[in-house]
Amino acid sequence: MKKILMVLMLALRLGSLAGQAADFVAGTGLEVQNPGRLRVLIERPTRDGEAIGLTYDKIDLLVSQALRRSGIAPADVKDPNAGNQRLYVNINVLGPAYTIYLSLDRTVSFRVGDRTIFSTGSSWNRSSLGTHGGKAQFILDALSGKIDSFANLYLKANGR
């Protein structure tokens, strides 16, 4: 009788674990509630970037236009109606080299003991590096391709 009881308890425990595992679905990290609207946070270029003509306004215009062409409405990072995710865009220029970093950041939570901690985390990111030959347009062209690629993957992950 004791063995039967232990087997039943083990079966119930395994069943509850299987139910918990069913809540976890592998994804791309790009899945969101409202894919048609996305907050955007763009960092200001470095001094070396500004020295070759790379400006915040040029980056903002390029990102906004590329997202709109794809059917994604860019929103201000403080827009309360745009969900909890944001596209983060960072370009660093140092001498002849540059890096482009894109990430989809969102509010994440995790448990530590009996506390639930909330923070911002990246669920998807891409980066690249190269040289610019003293031309901001070279960096902007590279960024354009990266934003188009992001938009394609983002919409695909969200069934659009």
List, for residues 134-154, the tens digit of each pLDDT value.
999 999 999 999 999 999 999
- For residues 104 and 120, the answer to whether their CB atoms sit within 8 Å is no
Q: Whole-prediction pTM value?
A: 0.81
Q: Residue 97: beta bridge partners? A: 94, 131
pLDDT of residue 147: 98
Percent of the chain, pLDDT > 70?
84
Count CB neighbours of 137 within 10 A: 14
Count CB neighbours of 15 within 10 A: 9
pLDDT of residue 2: 54
- What is the pLDDT averaged over residues 46-57? 98
pLDDT of residue 90: 98
- For residues 89 and 77, the answer to whether their CB atoms sit within 8 Å is no
**Strand pairing of 115-131 and 97-112?**
antiparallel
Distance CA 122, CA 103 (A): 6
